[in-house]
Amino acid sequence: MGDVPWRGDAISLVEAFRRGDRSPAEELQATYEAIDKSNLNAFCFLDRDKALAAARVADVSLPFGGVPLGVKELERHTGWPDTDASLVFKDRIATTTDTMLQRAKRAGAVLVGQTTSSEFGGVNVTRTLLHGATQNPWQHGRTPGGSSGGSAAAVAGGLVTIATGGDGGGSIRIPAGFTGLVGLKATYGRIPRGPGAQHGNLTTVVGCLSRSVRDTARWFDVCNGHEGNDSLSLPRVEGWEAGLGSVPTRGLRAAVVSNWGSAVVSPAMWTVLEESAMHLIEITGMRRVDGVDTSLPRLGAAWSITGMAALAFELRDHWPACADMLTPEMRYGLQRAGSLYGTEARGKFESRRVELSRRMTEIFDAVDVVITASNPDVAFNAEGPLPDTFGGVVAGAGNNGVLTFPANIHGNPGISIPAGTVDGLPVGLQVMSRHFAEPLLLELALAFERSRPWPLVAPHR
């Protein structure tokens, strides 16, 4: 229907543009009308005039020609708000445009505006003092996760077909898992950050939240490749979308792990995910390998403290006077980091990173993929706080994110694949492999998608 945003994936929307069934300007108008009516709180800034001008002249022969794109609030675009989702920087305006957005625009994408994020991307619930709480389109009152929660809500909620995301501790995979989307956290450096982005504790990558595997593959076709402003970005790799369906999987060894990173996973969720994992193994010709030691060093505190140290520097001219302007999680983290971070803490983090890399190398010598959960339970309360109980099992608030951040610290890729529902809410199957193995992860996700198609938009909004 022309009066509502496209319900398929981004590639099918481009195909509709090329057939003349729909125009980019019509699609953008439908998108803005839907955003205006939405109660998801998925967008916090809209660039209507510039977007409409771009839509009117969109070249639909390009990979994303005319496709409305949601942009995560933490990414920078010249002239847009540069708030980091915090009241502290509510009046700051960006003076640069991130490389990923430059490439997306060259590929024809029409930038709709900013999607809501958690403050400084520091927690997996999208609720800030600046913009309030973002809702999960599968069930109002539940979170879409964070920090890319607004992007996930916008895509799963039928507002846009694709949106950008960033993952420094699970912030693509977590919301993808909570909202039934594809979320690929790539090898560190696959898509450049910046200009101006700091490396920090070397965990953050950027990418997208999408409705289909092929959309994610096309996104990486467009956006990957080295750029001088990010000295750690990787060389360009061609053929992401064209290679789908051709990556060998038969005979690969798969570990199916419920307690990855010492996590506690809801028993009801794991029942669904273990069956999904076995289905994936069967349809791809992999073989399950049991008895592999998949234990990892505990790194949650070190990851958090080093991240907070970087934030403390950014807030150096404002802290502690700004304490009441921060969300509780950020305020607590900064207070804790101030007393804990120092040369000893930094040294311990680096030694633990070395130990984690040693363990991950040993694991991926024994198996080719690790299959686990994207989240420890289904989506929790949109207003928070972070839960401490998962499917009836008490594990503490530190259990949130434990499944995802090992891949951030090691730098290897992981993908969240929609794998069904529990109590009417999506659950995500997380599959990880060695560095540079994104084509394999996309291949596995494609096999699952073809055998068990998932809803492209939430059935209840």
Q: Which domains does the chain have, with CATH numbers?
A: 10-300+343-451 (3.90.1300.10), 301-340 (no CATH)
The β-bridge relationship of strands 287-288 and 253-256 is parallel
Asked if residues 249 and 266 have their Cβ atoms less than 8 Å apart, the reply is: no
Tens-place pLDDT, residues 234-245:
999 999 999 999
Contacts of 367 (CB under 8 A, 6+ apart): 253, 254, 255, 289, 292
- What are all long-range contacts of 318-322, with beta carbons under 8 Å and residues at least 24 apart? 318/88, 322/87, 322/88
Task: Give the Cβ contact number of residue 370 at 10 Å.
Answer: 24
Residues of the chain with pLDDT under 50: none
Contacts of 281 (CB under 8 A, 6+ apart): 254, 256, 287, 288, 371
Predicted local confidence at residue 7, as pLDDT: 97
Tens-place pLDDT, residues 316-342:
999 999 999 999 999 998 988 777 777
Token representation of residue 194: 């910046």
- C-alpha closest to that of 295 among 253, 260, 258, 256: 260
Task: Give the Cβ contact number of residue 248 at 10 Å.
Answer: 10
Predicted local confidence at residue 2, as pLDDT: 60
Predicted local confidence at residue 154, as pLDDT: 98
Distance separating alpha carbons of residues 307 and 318, to the nearest angstrom = 17
Distance separating alpha carbons of residues 69 and 91, to the nearest angstrom = 24
Predicted local confidence at residue 223, as pLDDT: 98
> Would you list the DSSP string of 234-272?
PPP---TTTTTT-S--TT-EEEE-SSGGG----HHHHHH
Tens-place pLDDT, residues 184-204:
999 999 999 989 888 888 999
Q: Which amino acid is at 215?
A: D
The answer to whether the Cα torsion of 19, 24, 25, 29 is positive or negative is: positive
- C-alpha closest to that of 114 among 66, 68, 153, 151: 151
The β-bridge relationship of strands 205-210 and 182-185 is antiparallel
Distance separating alpha carbons of residues 19 and 5, to the nearest angstrom = 17
Predicted local confidence at residue 391, as pLDDT: 97
